[in-house]
Amino acid sequence: MEALNDESPSHTAVALEHLTCTSYRNPTMTNQTASRDAAVRAAAFEFLRDQTALHGEILSRDLLSTGFQFEGQRVPLLGPQGIFKPAVLPEMPLTFTTAPPKRGAPPPYDDELGPDGLLRYRYRGTDPNHHDNVGMLKAMQRQVPLIYLFGIVPGQYMPTWPVYVVQADPQRLTFHVAVDDRRFGAGEMAEVEPQIRRSYVTRLTLHRLHQASFRQRVLRAYREHCAICRLRHVELLEAAHILPDGHPRGEPLVANGLSLCKLHHAAFDRHILGVSPDYVVHIRRDILEEVDGPMLQHGLKEMEGRKLVVLPNARDLKPRREFLEERFDLFRRAG
């Protein structure tokens, strides 16, 4: 799935179109207030589009906290609480945030994907009438687009926009949130019933966010090096799952990951390369016997018998030996 915050004109155009539609206007808001609210949100979307084009899809807390200027007033996108309304907006929040996980601590929010394929986002506190919760409720009633900031690792967030609150559940203290789906204006997805389409897009988006978090946490633990060849160009590094996503124990934990360059990740996934529980690299026998150019020789064959050259410093972040043992058994059978 391509990023929902890409540079394509359709994404920004869809958001701006919705900002001015009749469902956005409400009798309790004057035309002037509604126009200002819409203009701030449009400026925020444009700011994020520019920043992700410049820095990539993960943005720093400092950049988001600093925000942008609107008519001479600074508009931050991130505040001290999960639901955030900058002073420039009169009633409704602009962003809501899932804080990044902290090592050794439970997640600060128990946000999750519901059976309907929509994000469950927790109310602030336990009082449904808290002003932050009331602001989210107004955004739902008026179908105002918001920005979701997903904490990847401490200090780094991945923004997704526009997203919409589509239902509130005060008994369970949760909002149901959907990622905008109208980017599918053509092609096969255009014929899918809107609720199903929205659920599909939200599921894919949350999977992408969690995978990005896994990658950043793994690369950080390996100090942004390939564990096998020590390559340190982040653009060429990936987080490999030892036990894959579909495995019962294939959770996105650092201890279930290896920081590998693109070559060694592809070789690991296809059982050309294996890592034994004692952290030794093995190359499949038919590859060792093959004669080819320098990439095969230096990139793969010379890795045979070497130990991983980079590992996390913390013991609980090192690859779990039982995970490696199960994966290495698959490598042996492939050979």
Residue range 179-191, pLDDT digits in tens: 875 544 444 555 6
Q: Is 276 exposed, middle or buried (0-12, 13-18, 19+ CB in 10 A)?
A: middle
Does the predicted model carry a pTM greater than 0.75?
no
Least confident of 87-101, 113-127, 142-156, 299-313: 113-127
158 close to 214: Cβ distance less than 8 angstroms? no
pLDDT of 264 strictly over 90:
yes
Angle at 206 between CA 201 and CA 208, to 5 degrees: 95
Q: What does the mean pLDDT of the chain come to? A: 85
> According to the model, what pLDDT value does residue 335 have?
78
pLDDT confidence bin for 105, thresholds 50/70/90: low
Residue range 162-212, pLDDT digits in tens: 999 999 999 999 999 998 755 444 445 556 666 777 777 778 877 888 888
pLDDT of 2 strictly over 50:
no
Copy the structure tokens of residue 19: 């900002």
Residue range 9-63, pLDDT digits in tens: 333 444 444 444 434 445 556 788 889 999 999 999 999 999 999 998 999 999 9
> According to the model, what pLDDT value does residue 21 have?
42
pLDDT confidence bin for 125, thresholds 50/70/90: very high
44 close to 157: Cβ distance less than 8 angstroms? no
Least confident of 37-46, 94-103, 104-113, 278-287: 104-113
